[in-house]
Amino acid sequence: MSVSPTMSHQLPLDGMNMYAVPSPGIPGCPPGLEYLTQVDQLLIKQKVELIEALIGFESNNKYEVRNVMGQNVFYAVEENDCLSRQCCGPLRSFTIHILDNFGQEIITVTRPLKCMSCFFPCCLQELEVQAPPGNTVGYVIQQWHPFSPKFIVANEHNEPVLKIHGPFCGWSCLPDVDFEILTIDEVSKIGKISKQWTGLLREAFTDSDNFGIQFPMDLDVKIKAVMIGACFLIDFMFFESTN
């Protein structure tokens, strides 16, 4: 899917705090994901929307993806309509376009509209990650459990490769909430997705969240992209408060 010009010039292209993506051409790496081969941590920072803070009007989410030095490496924009945002809230379907610092869309994350319930296994969430757009690289699929969030991370063939386990009911009142990334046999923890405290005042007036992702440096770059998608799904399911 192409990105509209409106999205492109919303990018923070001021050159002050960005990282120039390495030249493409790494074998087995989808175009645009070359930088992910060099990192084992990312910070995903939701941008605060003033109108949402003041009057509770739900707006499209926007995120900055940063490295450990605080440099912007990607920028993510939710594509949605006003009716879905206001009527469905965090249950809404979405498409999130992830762009590099030159405004090129490199990852597309798509979540279909589904009901959400801890008690009914027919109401399970999922999303698809494409990189570049049109080329599926993996899926995140919720597993049913009455109390704890559990997800399967699958490759482009829908074959499970990793699991994500969260705390009791994804409890969101703790200062930091960790979702552990596990091997498929659940023997080893290889990373985590962490919701990080942004301060009481901001938490009280917006649903703006910060997340950290940690994964092995040598993890398949396509699965790293799927982990970014998993972070967005976790945000919407457990931390995107209804106003």
Token representation of residue 5: 């010009």
Give the phi and the psi of residue 42 in degrees, each rounded to 5: -140, 150
pLDDT at 237: 84
In a domain, 26, yes or no: no
9 domain residue, yes or no: no
The owner of tokens 């705390």 is: 167
Structural domain includes residue 109: yes
Of the spans 21-30, 118-127, 213-222, which averages the highest pLDDT?
213-222
Flag whether 89 is in a domain. Answer: yes
Averaged pLDDT, 185-209: 71
Report the number of distinct structural domains present in the chain: 1
* Position 202 pLDDT exceeds 50: no
Residue 10 falls inside a structural domain: no
Q: Which amino acid is at 227?
A: M
Q: Is the pLDDT of residue 122 over 90?
A: no
CA quadruple 44, 23, 134, 59: dihedral, nearest 10? 30
Say if residue 7's pLDDT is above 50: no
6-20, 33-47, 60-74, 185-199, range with the lowest pLDDT? 6-20
Is residue 155 predicted with pLDDT exceeding 60?
yes
Query: Is residue 44, in this structure, part of any structural domain at all?
Result: yes
Average pLDDT of the segment spanning 74-86: 69
Stretch 141-167: mean pLDDT: 92
Which residue segment(s) compose the domain that 145 sits in?
A: 34-240
CB < 8 Å & 24+ apart, contacts of 6-14: 7/77, 7/79, 7/97, 7/99, 8/99, 8/103, 9/103, 10/62, 10/77, 11/75, 11/99, 11/101, 11/103, 12/64, 12/72, 12/75, 13/101, 13/102, 13/103
CATH number (domain holding residue 40): 2.40.160.200
H helices of 43-110, in order, are: 50-55, 82-88
Task: Give percent of the chain above pLDDT 70.
Answer: 66
- Whole-structure pTM value: 0.79
Q: Could you tell me if 203 and 157 are in contact, meaning their C-beta atoms sit under 8 angstroms apart? A: no
Q: Is residue 1 part of a domain?
A: no
pLDDT at 9: 41
123 in any annotated domain: yes
What does the pLDDT look like over 222-235, one tens digit per residue?
Answer: 999 999 999 999 98
46 confidence band (pLDDT: 50, 70, 90) = confident
